[in-house]
């Protein structure tokens, strides 16, 4: 078994009983890989129920899937939890907090250092929210429909390889704390704003309509306010979430998707970048949104923000 796959399986055996990130672990991961492929022999985790074509594309790049990650099982709200037969999927930074969802297990698999890359599907923030709360990168790609595929990782260079990007330039950026309608904790906004400083954004008075009714009605398509904004800038920066990860008893009345789901309707690519930690030691995310097809600008943003702050692979008190 190649070293990287063996290391991933050993790490999984160590932390999985506590974190419950996997719905299914493959007993004999496929190991026949062309060494010339860009991801030759790299272990990955795959979100349960994800599009088969996305997984096959990564395998064609040399990835070795080691298992299917947890998603909500129908007994709990889709926004919050992952679950397997052993119980709730837990946030590696604080086991009493949720990792977010619905791509919960994939975010935890990367954040806890099991795999360097995991897949996800983002229908309202299902990649970006768990990425923010688990302190990793979470990319949603451009899509013409509400749900978009993407990945989690700790390494911006893996994002570039995944996307086939060889060169990036420095993008221009603007900042909006709340998109004009969301209720965002001051602490989340402050930490995200400090991280955003690496991109030197200028604040804008963006007034979007709350997308809740359009999202539930499945109304996707152009957003004139965003189209106008992206005529003058490469990136829109916001906090990823309005608040920190909550407990396993649920989010209460807070809408965790408030800052993310508008871009599922408009189809814009977006990423959550680790921005730092709140006073409780919980990760905070910075969201960057780009023009359609301009994922390269998101990679550039991730590199700029993380240039002097590499992502840690698990929390200060990792499960033993």
- pLDDT tens, position by position, 172-191: 999 999 999 999 999 999 99
In this prediction, residue 101 has a pLDDT band, given cuts at 50, 70 and 90, of confident
16 & 147 share domain? yes
Q: Is the pLDDT of residue 308 over 90?
A: no
Contact present, 259 and 287 (Cβ < 8 Å): yes
Mean pLDDT lowest among 29-33, 162-166, 195-199, 289-293: 29-33
Question: Looking at residues 29-39, what average pLDDT do you find?
Answer: 86
42 & 110 share domain? yes
Q: Is residue 168 part of a domain?
A: no
Short-list 4, 312, 317, CA closest to 137: 312
The tens digit of pLDDT for each residue in 48-57 reads 989 899 999 9
Q: Is residue 317 part of a domain?
A: no
The yes-or-no answer on residue 47 being catalytic is: yes
17 & 146 share domain? yes
Of 127, 142, 163, which closes a domain?
Answer: 163
- pTM for the full model? 0.94
Mean pLDDT lowest among 37-41, 44-48, 305-309: 305-309
Of 133, 163, 193, which closes a domain?
Answer: 163
In this prediction, residue 14 has a pLDDT band, given cuts at 50, 70 and 90, of very high
Q: Would strands 64-69 and 270-277 be described as parallel, antiparallel, or unpaired?
A: unpaired
Q: Would strands 270-277 and 137-140 be described as parallel, antiparallel, or unpaired?
A: antiparallel
Q: Is residue 312 part of a domain?
A: no
225 & 90 share domain? no
Query: Which listed residue (47, 103, 112, 140) is catalytic?
Result: 47
**Portion of the chain with pLDDT greater than 90, in percent:** 82
Of 163, 194, 211, which closes a domain?
Answer: 163
Which domain covers residue 147, as residue numbers? 3-163
210 & 94 share domain? no
137 & 24 share domain? yes
Count of the separate structural domains present in the chain = 2
Average pLDDT along the chain: 91
In this prediction, residue 43 has a pLDDT band, given cuts at 50, 70 and 90, of very high
Q: Is the pLDDT of residue 119 over 90?
A: yes
Query: Which listed residue (102, 103, 176, 266) is catalytic?
Result: 102
Q: Is residue 320 part of a domain?
A: no
Query: Which listed residue (103, 126, 266, 272) is catalytic?
Result: 126
Query: What pLDDT does residue 82 have?
Result: 64
114 & 195 share domain? no
Q: Is residue 220 part of a domain?
A: yes
The yes-or-no answer on residue 102 being catalytic is: yes
118 & 219 share domain? no
Question: Looking at residues 5-24, what average pLDDT do you find?
Answer: 94
The yes-or-no answer on residue 140 being catalytic is: no
Query: What pLDDT does residue 1 have?
Result: 53
């Amino acid at each position: 078994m190649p070293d990287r796959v063996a290391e991933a399986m050993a790490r999984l055996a160590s932390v999985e009983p506590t974190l419950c990130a996997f719905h299914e672990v493959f007993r004999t991961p496929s190991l026949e890989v062309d060494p010339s492929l860009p991801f030759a022999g790299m272990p990955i985790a795959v979100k349960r129920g994800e599009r088969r074509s996305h997984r096959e594309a990564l395998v064609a790049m040399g990835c070795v899937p080691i298992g299917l990650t947890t998603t909500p099982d129908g007994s709990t709200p889709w926004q919050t939890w992952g679950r397997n037969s052993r119980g709730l999927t837990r946030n590696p930074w604080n086991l009493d907090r949720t990792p977010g969802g619905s791509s919960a297990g994939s975010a935890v698999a990367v954040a806890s250092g099991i795999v360097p890359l995991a897949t996800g599907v983002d229908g309202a923030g299902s990649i970006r929210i768990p990425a923010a709360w688990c302190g990793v990168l979470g990319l949603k790609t451009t899509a013409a429909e509400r749900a978009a595929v993407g990945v989690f990782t700790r390494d911006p260079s893996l994002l570039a390889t995944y996307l086939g990007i060889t060169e990036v330039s420095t993008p221009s950026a603007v900042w909006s704390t709340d998109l004009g309608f969301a209720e965002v904790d001051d602490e989340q906004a402050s930490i995200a704003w400090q991280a955003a400083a690496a991109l030197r954004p200028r604040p804008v008075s963006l007034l979007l309509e709350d997308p809740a009714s359009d999202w539930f009605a499945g109304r996707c398509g152009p957003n004139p306010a965003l189209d106008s904004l992206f005529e003058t800038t490469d990136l829109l920066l916001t906090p990823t979430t309005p608040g920190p990860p909550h407990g396993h008893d649920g989010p209460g009345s807070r809408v965790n998707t408030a800052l993310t789901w508008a871009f599922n309707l408009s189809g814009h690519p977006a990423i959550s970048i680790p921005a730092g930690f709140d006073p409780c030691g919980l990760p905070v995310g910075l969201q960057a949104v780009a023009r359609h097809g301009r994922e390269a600008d998101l990679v550039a943003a991730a590199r700029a923000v993380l240039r002097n702050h590499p992502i840690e692979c698990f929390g200060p008190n990792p499960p033993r």
